[in-house]
Structure 1
Amino acid sequence: MKIKVDRGRCTGIGICESVAPDYFEVGDDGGLVLLREHIDDSQRAEVEDAVRACPALALSIVED
């Protein structure tokens, strides 16, 4: 499983970063930096929470 970011929808609010900081970071320019694309099974619930929390619906989880 991996994370997919729709950069056209992302607004850089940073909720994903606060929920799953090992995977997401908002850069100085306001753009989302994906720190890790592939999801570790032990952190899957955390990443799923971050995806659900995105108000712009810019994040999703897809099969490799």
Structure 2
Amino acid sequence: MRQREIALQEALHTTPEPPQQFIAGVVCCIDCDDPVSPQRLRAKPNAARCIHCQSQEEKAHGPR
């Protein structure tokens, strides 16, 4: 029960992933417009940023 409470609290303090951007049917990074790698999409299917831009975002604003 305690783990559930912790998970719910964490969910309340996280911001949702921004919507993905599709260009010609390919998921592209919302920051640099480069295609998001297939490996990243397998790991996180709703990724909106390439790994480089996500890393920069986390350095600037913390992990989400």
Q: Which has the larger radius of gyration?
A: 2
What is the TM-score with the length of structure 1 in the denominator?
A: 0.25
What is the TM-score with the length of structure 2 in the denominator?
A: 0.25
Structure with the higher strand share, 1 or 2:
1
Q: Which has the higher contact order (CA 8 A, sep 6+)?
A: 1
